[in-house]
Chains A and B, each alone.
Chain A
């Protein structure tokens, strides 16, 4: 295992790469107000971050990552365009794998730039790829934006699209919804009874904050939904074919263009992938060998809504990704109180990099 001073020294040299690009060094506090993170991630964050509290400030979290505080800081008083770098400890609860550390050093780079998203994606990826050079790692890329565009393009009601969008990062529930909307899973008996108008509450009194108006509104929405035609087999098959795209970037692009014929809604997003590939090549990335997985980045609890990438250790499948990153335009909108700016970033784990080097 690398010593902590080795790790800190590596972190400093990685940070220097980004400072050489003109990135401003930022140092967000370790203790973050819990409400922002809870509002963003919901209850799941409690399984991932340490929560503590005092009587004065209420609940605080030991920062589980830097992105959220950096975005907040930028949205509050950042100039545009902006590039930031940081390094320091992040804290993650571990409840399943005792071998994973609950505290480790991250070095990151975040780019807030409206001018050319494809170039910004390529910049972040290329700088991290350069820092990874010589390590036995393999990058994988993806694009959540393609999946989102495919959902928007489904021939179904806006309510159904909205429900699918809400669960794009929860593959299991997404699948259950898609199957239900396609008429592939049986309607539960309780739902049938409700729709038939004979769901009895036994005259139960209203208790709690959720009002009868809210219950009526949902019953009406369910009746409306029952009238919606099922999503066609063909559309579900196309969506599945999209989720299964897992090839080198040129082959993946060719698959995506094939799919585009029947899914015209993904055209803009696929153009985005093409532009990014172009920008990556211009930065010397071997895109012919680069892996593209359409479903990459869906199951991690993240905020990415466009480009996503990870560098995985080829020789050590037991290790988490050595570097990860992606585009998070929507996050800036949620934290920006009316403002928004395209943003992309990535983080590296110097401790893991040293561990990999030592094992070579």
Chain B
């Protein structure tokens, strides 16, 4: 059985991943037409390439269907409970940087910390009859973060995209999302809470603790890891 390496199947994340591996003598490339998700690996023996959506890579790693995978820390921690028992981070790839943060309208001069958010949420609930809504796609990470810090009287509403716009559209009062430069936040009149950093994420090479290895693939894995790290 060959070793399976899962990488993001499109966009900048794919290009950067290919570059990173290329700089270490492992040439990854897509084969066939632009639309076909097939690829190959040159420069090492017995490794096959699996092109996947970055969001699916955590699940494939945890199921042991791929041995190695490249995806963000945010996605691994959001999608896998007890992630450190399922996967091992081998190397940070130094791109795809993004912080998962909590942001509120800039006009909220009275809210700068989680403490403020909690108090504002209590008052908001009393005034409006429902909980202060925070739009996010990172439900588990945000909920655990807010629970750890004892914030109450909020509700998470699901937002799979254009999350910064939910406040303007009045479908949420605050957001929890990844940001790299903060430009989109500012453009939507939002600011980050000073203690609202939930997670710092970047593209990372992970090893599955669940994927079966026989002698042959174990050797291939060792060689590949030595070459990459």
Contact = CB atoms under 8 A, between A and B. Distances in A.
Nearest to A190: B112
Contacts of B168: 207-208
A98 B82 contact: yes
Given A207-B167, A210-B124, A214-B127, A219 B81 contact: no
B53 interface: no
A173 B118 contact: yes
Contact of B155 (A38, A190, A204): A38
Contacts of A172: 148-150
Interface string B98-124: 000000011111101101101110111
B128 to A, nearest CB: 7
B147 interface: yes
B189 interface: yes
A1 B3 CA distance: 38
Interface string B143-158: 1101111111111100
A219 B153 contact: no
Given A42-B131, A43-B154, A173-B118, A205 B189 contact: yes
A44 B147 contact: yes
Given A42-B153, A43-B155, A199 B109 contact: yes
B81 A201 contact: no
B110 A215 contact: yes
B123 A217 contact: yes
B189 A204 contact: yes
Nearest to B170: A209
B103 to A, nearest CB: 11
Contacts of B118: 173
Nearest to A172: B150
A202 B189 CA distance: 10
A46 B128 CA distance: 22
Interface string B30-67: 00000000000000000000000000000000000000
Contacts of B151: 173
Given A208-B168, A209-B170, A210-B173, A43 B110 contact: no
A208 B143 contact: no
A166 B122 CA distance: 9
A47 B144 contact: yes
Interface in B147-187: 147-156, 167-168, 170, 172-173
A206 interface: yes
Contacts of B106: 201-202, 204
B227 interface: no
Interface in A192-218: 194, 199-202, 204-210, 212, 214-215, 217-218
A243 interface: no
Interface string A39-54: 0001110110000000
A95 B140 contact: yes
Given A172-B149, A217-B123, 18 more contacts: A42-B155, A43-B146, A47-B147, A95-B82, A167-B152, A188-B194, A190-B112, A194-B109, A194-B112, A199-B109, A204-B189, A207-B168, A209-B170, A210-B132, A210-B173, A214-B120, A214-B123, A214-B127
